[in-house]
Chains A and B, each alone.
Chain A
């Protein structure tokens, strides 16, 4: 478990940022001016955790994104969706979530799976339909959705 790493891919006035590791007090955000980009994509696929200082540093870092920039969050794990749901400003105004993970837990073999959801029309309309059960990737027994849906999908109404 090391410090947060962020990969940057700049193409003209667009930037794609891939985050890996925990977002906490040790996070060193790249010294790039987010206000200079019209399109910004944050990829959270490899984010492992976030704590209270991480939330503060994140909000501080994204604070200078221009309101008319197109901001997209992709591959959001549960820890990121939880913050989007709880903390105003964690997802900038007008930003969109393009894909996120839904956790499933198998009582039979104690396995935790995650399934990605990326249906743009479902996300846009707020009518996300995810199966309440999926076959466990380890034992094939039914694994049940491991979130309270009314709470977890609250961000779709933001």
Chain B
């Protein structure tokens, strides 16, 4: 990593040390990420979001007890409105197709989820590959993830779990691994880069991932939750709109939360 980038990332890390919440109105996605970079925002919620009250409650909950997000992310995000949930454990790269199919099969009974098939496929795919190919190498201090064509088996090391839940308006897809190696600043820097240089200009052609998966996921969702307990757990979750008014929800206006806990 060049020294300019390192200095830039250190500056962002410094801003993110404190918890800073912003309530905004119709702030486009690129400016949401810009606000994190410029002001060190750790939570940004859109006042006109249909989930404004739930988002406010989420911020309040994690301010009081951030560890609740790591122990029960779905309950922390959706609260009492959670209707149903499931979880799928995985530990081998060859389980990707099977995991995606399990999620889609479980969601086949959820009204309105079918229209999200493409987004669900993409998000589960990206969450799965990040957990399998990035979490372990980052845990042991490498800068790049593993080659995506390698066969990886985390047996006897750690496991990963994908979780899905929903309420009447929102579907949550997320993934937890027990490495806690996600670098939030690096992720935000990369996301920011996709807005500054475009997705094509931000693609990494070396080993590991393409470096734009987080942007593809961010584009698909209305809520993005990124949580890290260093060396213990990474939990990332995304919210998608379901229900009768889902079509009218503009996914450009996103809520985002960066959650860190040392407990």
Contacts and interface: CB of A to CB of B under 8 A. Distances in A.
Contacts of A90: 200
Nearest to A79: B118
B149 interface: yes
A86 B219 contact: yes
Interface in A50-76: 50-53, 55-56, 59-60
Contact of A24 (B125, B212, B219): B125
A68 B114 CA distance: 41
Contacts, number: 77
B122 A88 contact: no
A107 B244 CA distance: 7
Contacts of A26: 149
Interface stretch (B9-17, B48-56, B202-210, B255-263): B202-210
Contact of A52 (B111, B114, B149, B212): B212
B209 A53 contact: yes
Interface residues on A, range: 20 to 34
A52 B210 contact: yes
12 contacts: A25-B148, A49-B118, A49-B121, A51-B216, A52-B210, A55-B199, A78-B118, A79-B118, A107-B244, A110-B111, A112-B117, A146-B115
Contact of B112 (A49, A53, A87, A110): A110
A1 B101 contact: yes
Interface in A72-121: 78-79, 82, 86-90, 103, 105, 107, 110-112
A60 B129 CA distance: 20
A53 B130 CA distance: 11
A82 B101 CA distance: 22
B219 to A, nearest CB: 7
Contacts of B101: 1
Given A56-B203, A88-B200, A51 B213 contact: yes
User: Main SS of the interface on chain A?
Assistant: mixed
A56 B118 CA distance: 18
Interface of B: 97, 100-101, 111-112, 114-115, 117-118, 121-122, 125-126, 129, 148-149, 198-201, 203-205, 209-213, 216, 219, 244, 247, 250
B247 A144 contact: yes
Nearest to B100: A1
A52 B204 CA distance: 10
Given A25-B148, A105-B115, A52 B198 contact: no
A15 B101 CA distance: 34
Contacts of A32: none
Contacts of A89: 200
Contact of B205 (A56, A112, A146): A56
B210 A55 contact: yes
A86 to B, nearest CB: 6
Contacts of B201: 88
A55 B210 CA distance: 8
B200 A51 contact: no
A121 B149 CA distance: 43
Contact of A53 (B114, B199, B200, B210): B210
